[in-house]
A and B are shown apart, each in its own frame.
Chain A
Amino acid sequence: MSKLGQAKRIIFLKTADGQLFEVDEPVAMEFEIVKSFFDENEDAADDTVVPLPNVSAEPLAGIIEFCKAHVEFRANGAAGKDEVKKFNAEYIKEKSNEQLKELILAANYLNIKEMLDFLTETIANRLKNKSVEYVRAFFGIENDFTPQEEEAVRKEYEWAFEGVDED
């Protein structure tokens, strides 16, 4: 662990596809899995490489970008303010569902609560007030009901199909 007055410590992370990332310590410590790695190996050398066998480079880069910004927001006392919301909205805007899924899987494995909360909320918002057909198409989900089965479930909850957004 770095102490006050020491040079900024860098944590080395290695992804499943063999890429090496150099991450500032406060950002890497956002990842619960990295934090516990160092908590359990207190004597680990400064240049220890933490292997992340379940994460590939692309989502990790995205996660680092997100966590870095949020660490800064907290340091500046901006947590919960509009600029955070603006950053989050921009961050997620161009992400496809597939990218979002990769990010969730990685954030879940790395155990980053704040980011996982944000990502699951994003998915939930993409499901809100959407028609069944839209949800299937948007998430690429196959309808495995027979028409009779689907009709039965729909009939049971007719009121749930009122006021749905246009596809």
Chain B
Amino acid sequence: MKKSCQEREMRNSLGLPDDVVVDIFLRLSIKNLARLRCVCKSWNDLITSESFVGFHLSKSSRKPRLLFFRYGVSPSYLGFYPPKRQRFENLHDPPFATRLVDLDLLGSCNGVLCFCSTADHSLIYMWNPSNNKYITLPKPTYNPRYLGFGVNSMSGHLDDFKVVTISANANAEVYSWRTNSWKIIDDGFPRSIEIYGSHINCPVFVKGSVHWCARYSCYFDSQCTWLIVSFDFSKGVFHTIMLPEDMSIDDDAKYLNILDGCLCVFAGTVRNSFRAYELWVMKEYGVIESWTRRCIIEKDQIFWWPIGLTRKGKIFVRGDCEHCGNSLLSYDPNTEIFECLDIHLPCFSIQVLTFVDSIITPVPRSVIKG
């Protein structure tokens, strides 16, 4: 552990109190900070200290950006919203040997993105695009079928990244970034539950747990009950969360997401004969009674399906604009108005994630030499 700021008061070569120097450094870009590490040892220590990394993350968390991932087709790309000149502001490609088109994006957490190989899911990467540092995870014991990424928020370390994998035979194991190793979960994954995995249903990390849409296994019956299954990274256990009753028994796909820090789900429901999508928010985490319907969006010519949420609670949808078919639109649930964003979406799938810049270096301490 590095010393805290207070302990290193006035040792930063500018002759100013450390909290003032921290304030100055927090105004600088990641590129400037990376360079200033070379000025002297005390600056290097300060900029790489866990406390500074934390201050930096809290500051950038106030300005999250939306990252769009076009996947499964060449060229795949990562781009930020808002766009520049009708195109997403492109993020540079990751430095791994595997091409972006061969990767699935598992999530974004504290500035770090986690990918796995589309083909067999066994190549897993964590990458911080802001400083371009990455790590290739050691291979898990069992071939993963489903994966989830997040951080153990209870440990007090911002870089306590975790990946959980579930094999076809319901074996489960957890990777810890801090130890750079895998640990098998004795009880495995509940065998009565089948995760419903597709790109659009990518796992959602919120409240210290990663969540998937799933169904209880039931043979010869298409109306298996839907539910959410989660993995709590701090306790290392799986939990189940029931969906709103209206949407738990049907065949319509569900999309998990996060709204104002709450777990939420999009789905068509029987009530409106699947002619509309409903957005439900779990206001109090883990409390079934707190599922609240936020809005209903009618399906019509201009609106096709939801693809993500903006920070201010607007909904990104795919649909038709006047001058441009297959476009990105935003929908404001309060005014019920669609807005064309003048961005053409490729015919293939788009994943939308929240991203914050961080100076966390995703290289486990045990891997750093010297």
What is the interface of chain A, defined by CB distance below 8 A to chain B?
Answer: 101, 104-105, 108, 116, 120-121, 123-124, 127-129, 131-132, 135-136, 139, 141-145, 149-150, 153-154, 157, 159-161, 164
Is A135 in contact with B24, judged by CB distance below 8 angstroms?
no
Q: What B residues does A120 contact at CB under 8 A?
A: 20, 23-24, 27
User: Once bound together, how far apart are the Cα atoms of A154 and B132, in whole Å?
Assistant: 14
* Cross-interface CB contact of A136 among B24, B39, B44, cutoff 8 Å: B39
Which of the 9-residue segments B29-37, B83-91, B273-281 touches chain A?
A: B29-37
Q: A101-B16, A127-B32, A135-B36 are in contact. Are A157 and B131 (CB under 8 A)?
A: yes
Q: What B residues does A150 contact at CB under 8 A?
A: 38
Q: What A residues does B31 contact at CB under 8 A?
A: 159-160
Task: Tell me the smallest distance from the CB of B45 to a CB of chain A, in Å.
Answer: 11
Task: Tell me the smallest distance from the CB of A69 to a CB of chain B, in Å.
Answer: 22
For B44, the closest partner residue in chain A by CB is A153
For B35, the closest partner residue in chain A by CB is A160
Q: What B residues does A157 contact at CB under 8 A?
A: 34-35, 37, 131
User: Which of B15, B27, B31, B35 has the most CB atoms of chain A within a 10 A radius of its CB?
Assistant: B35
**CB<8 Å pairs between A and B, sample of 8:** A120-B23, A120-B27, A123-B14, A128-B32, A132-B36, A145-B44, A157-B131, A161-B35
Is B132 in contact with A159, judged by CB distance below 8 angstroms?
yes
Q: A139-B14, A153-B44 are in contact. Are A128 and B28 (CB under 8 A)?
A: yes
Contact with A along B295-330 (1 / 0, CB 8 A): 000000000000000000000000000000000000
Task: Tell me the smallest distance from the CB of B37 to a CB of chain A, in Å.
Answer: 6
User: Once bound together, how far apart are the Cα atoms of A139 and B16, in whole Å?
Assistant: 12
Contact with A along B103-141 (1 / 0, CB 8 A): 000000000000000000000000000011000000000
Task: Tell me the smallest distance from the CB of A120 to a CB of chain B, in Å.
Answer: 5
User: Once bound together, how far apart are the Cα atoms of A141 and B15, in whole Å?
Assistant: 10
Q: A132-B39, A154-B38, A164-B35 are in contact. Are A121 and B17 (CB under 8 A)?
A: no
What is the interface of chain B, defined by CB distance below 8 A to chain A?
Answer: 13-17, 20, 23-25, 27-29, 31-32, 34-44, 131-132
Q: A132-B36, A160-B34 are in contact. Are A139 and B27 (CB under 8 A)?
A: no
User: Once bound together, how far apart are the Cα atoms of A131 and B16, in whole Å?
Assistant: 21
Task: Tell me the smallest distance from the CB of B110 to a CB of chain A, in Å.
Answer: 19
* Cross-interface CB contact of B38 among A123, A132, A139, cutoff 8 Å: A132
Is B40 in contact with A142, judged by CB distance below 8 angstroms?
yes
User: Once bound together, how far apart are the Cα atoms of A127 and B13, in whole Å?
Assistant: 14
Q: What A residues does B27 contact at CB under 8 A?
A: 120-121, 124
User: Once bound together, how far apart are the Cα atoms of A139 and B21, in whole Å?
Assistant: 13
If A124-B24, A141-B40, A160-B32 are given as contacts, then 18 extra A-B residue pairs at C-beta distance below 8 Å, sorted by A number, are A105-B16, A105-B17, A108-B17, A120-B23, A120-B24, A120-B27, A121-B27, A127-B28, A135-B36, A136-B40, A139-B13, A141-B14, A145-B41, A149-B41, A153-B38, A153-B44, A160-B35, A164-B35
Q: What A residues does B40 contact at CB under 8 A?
A: 136, 141-145
Q: What A residues does B34 contact at CB under 8 A?
A: 157, 159-160
Q: What A residues does B24 contact at CB under 8 A?
A: 120, 123-124, 127
For A163, the closest partner residue in chain B by CB is B31
Q: A120-B27, A124-B27, A160-B31 are in contact. Are A101 and B14 (CB under 8 A)?
A: yes
For B14, the closest partner residue in chain A by CB is A139
User: Once bound together, how far apart are the Cα atoms of A5 and B160, in whole Å?
Assistant: 61
Task: Tell me the smallest distance from the CB of B235 to a CB of chain A, in Å.
Answer: 36
Is A129 in contact with B32, judged by CB distance below 8 angstroms?
yes
Q: A124-B28, A153-B44 are in contact. Are A143 and B23 (CB under 8 A)?
A: no
User: Once bound together, how far apart are the Cα atoms of A120 and B41, in whole Å?
Assistant: 21
User: Once bound together, how far apart are the Cα atoms of A164 and B38, in whole Å?
Assistant: 14
User: Once bound together, how far apart are the Cα atoms of A14 and B15, in whole Å?
Assistant: 24
Task: Tell me the smallest distance from the CB of B220 to a CB of chain A, in Å.
Answer: 58
Q: What A residues does B35 contact at CB under 8 A?
A: 131-132, 157, 160-161, 164
Q: What B residues does A141 contact at CB under 8 A?
A: 13-14, 39-40, 43
Task: Tell me the smallest distance from the CB of A34 to a CB of chain B, in Å.
Answer: 20
Q: A101-B14, A124-B28 are in contact. Are A144 and B41 (CB under 8 A)?
A: yes
Q: What A residues does B132 contact at CB under 8 A?
A: 159
User: Once bound together, how far apart are the Cα atoms of A94 and B364, in whole Å?
Assistant: 47
Q: What B residues does A143 contact at CB under 8 A?
A: 39-40
Q: A157-B34, A160-B31 are in contact. Are A135 and B39 (CB under 8 A)?
A: yes
